[in-house]
Every structure is written in structure tokens, then in C-alpha cells.
A and B are shown apart, each in its own frame.
Chain A
């Protein structure tokens, strides 16, 4: 899901680039040396996964997984999504060079929103909260992207208001599918490899950690 070249006005394009550069500078500074290969390798998985098409009725949509990037990478989701968008521009010409800024704000911002929603799970103590909050994160990412897209269209000119409305409606099935898939995936990761998820509290693995800390405390006999 992105906007193509040649539609938006210069101020909107510029705003997109300024926002992207600011957020990218902030999030890239938090990367460590070992994050560089890791974030890039995981970005390529998302890039590949976005080639998967899921059928809805007679048609099909491709996965976006902006929410899942937030759930897995946390704040690093923003540079990851930016990489994905730049690659898509270079390889397919989808989107375009001039809209890299707007598209990154749209999808990368969605990834950050998803991370925020995902972090809320610590406040609740319910069963299957990974699935629930993963689903919410997946949905909120697409929802946010849809809103930004509509705003970018509307600020370009009033002749795009109807188009913005149609794009928002077209997002509804995508939101549902993303919610289901990201929820299932978050639940799967929580079971199989919990440390792959972003923002895991050390306390969530408390039963596994406790005995080792105990034995470690006992080791130095003073």
C-alpha cells in the first residue's frame, strides 16, 4: 500500500521527507553495531513476506505487515520500513523516488504506532494477550497508515477528498486480515521464540530465570 509519484503536491512531499529524516535520524542513532545486519536481515523477511497474497473473496490482497515489524523490531521498525520502501522503489518502481518520504511516514509511522499498542499488553493480565495485542497492533498500523494517506491526499487538494474516502474504505478488509495474521504470528512467536518479540519484560520469563539467579547468588561463598 503506497501512494504513487505525481499525485501529491510539493509541500506534502517535502513534509514527508522532513518527517522521515527526523524520525530516521532519531531511530538510527539507537542502533548498535550488531543491529545493522540483524535489522537488515529481518527487513528482507518482511520484504519477502509482503509478496504473499491472501485471497479475500474473488480478489486478493498482499500482506503489508507494518504492525508485525513494530511488534518484532520495536523502535527499529522505522528504519526497517524505510529500507523496505527504498528497495521497493529501486526494484519495482512502486511508489517512487519523490514519495519515499511520505510513504515512510505512512507505513513506518504505522509500525511505531503498532509498537505503542503492543507495549500496552504489559498493563493487562489476561490469557492469550499476545494474540489480542498482536492483532490490535496489526490493525492499528494499517489504520494509522490509511489515515496518513487520506490526510496526504486531502492536503494536496480538495479534488482528492472523494479519492481519500474510497481509499479509507478499501483499507477495511486489509485491516481485518492484518489483525488476524499479525495476532496469530505474535502468538506463535510468544510460544516458539519469545525473545524475538520487541519490548519483552524480563519478568515475563520470571519462572525460567529465578532458579538461575538463585544458584548464581549461592555460588560465591562468602
Chain B
């Protein structure tokens, strides 16, 4: 799983050029409206939209797929559990279990919505540098303290991943093999404890270094945002589609009819 989501933020595309503040706001609203959808045809349109926004963003296919495959993997059980456990009439029986089409329909809806949302998340955060996105969030009235903590946490994640890999190499060099027994649990407990003790000491050094550079709870940034007419046009386009999608969905035109898929 790639941790540096902003690896391809420098590619040129309409999404990379979009003012991060307006981009996050617009796509955030889009994501929430997708989550509220209740009908399958509209969810398919939302997925198509999410895919086309992602295509516009010029992010490489492999990069997105490496994360999306895990989400799909976690959602697969729904296709088995939902049809077999849906209350109501069964269409037919699979090894004694009632199979309901409504359950499969619901599982498909969940699946499509989830994939549409995760693809949009990539368009939101994969197309600007992580720190720029965070500062943009701060402009969107996200609490300052939260933005600072997110930036710190993100930065130190890479440090501790390296630290963890070093410790794992050291453990393997001493012949440690993970098993499912008490000893492994004890060793892993100590492993996490060691990582924590090291991080405590590091966090004290970090804080002192920050104080000596004049830290007083403020984060000063060189990032300046500039929004132009194009930014607002893009935003208006996405927001109008979101509103049309939601109103079509709530209008009941496509409400899951009892007998069919549409």
C-alpha cells in the first residue's frame, strides 16, 4: 500500500490545477451525496462520474488499483452474507439457505457506492501535495490544532515505518519467527513497547527543537491559494451533477421495485 498519496501531485491535469480549497470542498460534497444514494441506477451513474473524474486527474492506474483492490476484497463478503441473510421471501435455496435477490441488490449498491467514494478520495487527495491539502482544509475552517496534528502524524509515519523495518530485520537476524503462540504475543508486545519508548524520546527532542525555532502553536505556511473563474466553473459542474443525482434519487423514479432491479 502506498503511503505517499501525493506522489503524483505534480502531474498536469485539470484536477491538479484546481484550487485545492475549492477541490476539497466540491468533491467532499460529491462524496457525501454519493453516500446518501439509495438506488442502483443512480449509484452506477455516480461510479461512472467518479471514474471520469479520476481519469481526468491523470493518476497512474497501478497506483490507484493497489489500494482499491483491498477495499474490494473487504467488500466481497457482503455478496455472500447479504443475499443469504436478507429478511423476506427467498427466490430459491442454496444448500438450505434462503437466497434473496433483494440482498444481492443491496450488496451491489453498497459495493458500487464504496468504490465510487474511494475513487473520489484519490481525486481529492492524490492531486495536490499532502501539506497543501491540509492547509486548504484549514482554510475550509477545519480546526487548526487538527491540521497541525495531521501534518505531524503524517510526517513521522515515514520515520517510524523505517524504524519498524530496522527492528524487524534485527529480530529476524536473531532467528525470530512469528507463530500463533503466547511467546510471539509477548515478543510483539515488547516490540510495540520499544517502538513507543523510542517515539516518546524522539517526540521530546522534536518538541525542544521546535521550541528553539520559535514554535508557539502556530504553523506558518508559504502556501498561497489563488482561485480563478475556471475553479468555480469546475466546482459548479460537479455540484450541479450531485444535486441532480440526489433529486433523481429521492424523487422515487428509480426506487428499488420489489420485482426487478430497476
Knowing A36-B217, A83-B149, A163-B81, the reply to whether A93 touches B122 (Cβ < 8 A) is: yes
Say yes or no: B103 contacts A6, CB within 8 Å: no
Distance A44 CA – B158 CA, assembled complex (angstroms): 9
Q: 11 extra interchain contacts, Cβ-Cβ under 8 A, other than A6-B113, A159-B87, A188-B189?
A: A4-B74, A7-B114, A38-B204, A42-B199, A44-B154, A83-B146, A90-B130, A93-B68, A98-B35, A180-B189, A185-B192
Chain A residue nearest to B5 (CB atoms) is A91
Chain A residue nearest to B201 (CB atoms) is A193
Distance A2 CA – B187 CA, assembled complex (angstroms): 26
Cβ of B193 < 8 Å from any Cβ of A?
yes
- A24, A33, A37, A54: the one contacting B184 at CB < 8 Å is A54
Chain B residue nearest to A195 (CB atoms) is B200
Distance A57 CA – B143 CA, assembled complex (angstroms): 44
B162 CB to closest chain A CB, in angstroms? 9
Residues of B within 8 A of A94 (CB): 70-71
Say yes or no: A189 contacts B31, CB within 8 Å: no
Say yes or no: A97 contacts B189, CB within 8 Å: no
Q: How large is the interface on A (under 10, 10 to 19, 20 to 34, 35 or more residues)?
A: 35 or more
Cβ of B49 < 8 Å from any Cβ of A?
no
- A52, A54, A92, A193: the one contacting B200 at CB < 8 Å is A193
Chain B residue nearest to A56 (CB atoms) is B180
Q: How large is the interface on B (under 10, 10 to 19, 20 to 34, 35 or more residues)?
A: 35 or more
- B71, B189, B216: the one contacting A184 at CB < 8 Å is B189
Question: In residues 162-198 of chain B, which contact A (Cβ within 8 Å)?
Answer: 163-164, 178-180, 182, 184-186, 188-197
Say yes or no: A41 contacts B68, CB within 8 Å: no
Say yes or no: B197 contacts A193, CB within 8 Å: yes
Residues of A within 8 A of B5 (CB): 90-91
Say yes or no: B117 contacts A92, CB within 8 Å: no
CB contacts between A and B, total, < 8 Å = 223
Residues of A within 8 A of B182 (CB): 180
Residues of B within 8 A of A7 (CB): 110, 114
Write 14 A-B pairs (CB below 8 A) sorted by A numbering. A41-B202, A44-B152, A44-B155, A63-B192, A91-B3, A96-B118, A97-B117, A158-B87, A161-B85, A162-B84, A181-B185, A185-B196, A189-B196, A193-B200
**8 shortest interchain CB distances as A-B pairs:** A184-B189, A6-B113, A162-B85, A40-B152, A188-B193, A180-B185, A93-B118, A41-B203
Interface string of A1-40 (1 = CB under 8 A from B): 0001111001001000000000010001001011011111
Residues of B within 8 A of A172 (CB): none
Interface string of A179-197 (1 = CB under 8 A from B): 0111111111100110010
Knowing A92-B67, A96-B121, A97-B32, the reply to whether A54 touches B189 (Cβ < 8 A) is: no
Knowing A93-B68, A181-B188, the reply to whether A4 touches B75 (Cβ < 8 A) is: yes
Cβ of A55 < 8 Å from any Cβ of B?
yes
Say yes or no: A6 contacts B185, CB within 8 Å: no
A135 CB to closest chain B CB, in angstroms? 10
Cβ of A205 < 8 Å from any Cβ of B?
no
Residues of B within 8 A of A180 (CB): 182, 185-186, 189
Cβ of A86 < 8 Å from any Cβ of B?
yes
Residues of A within 8 A of B190 (CB): 184-185, 188
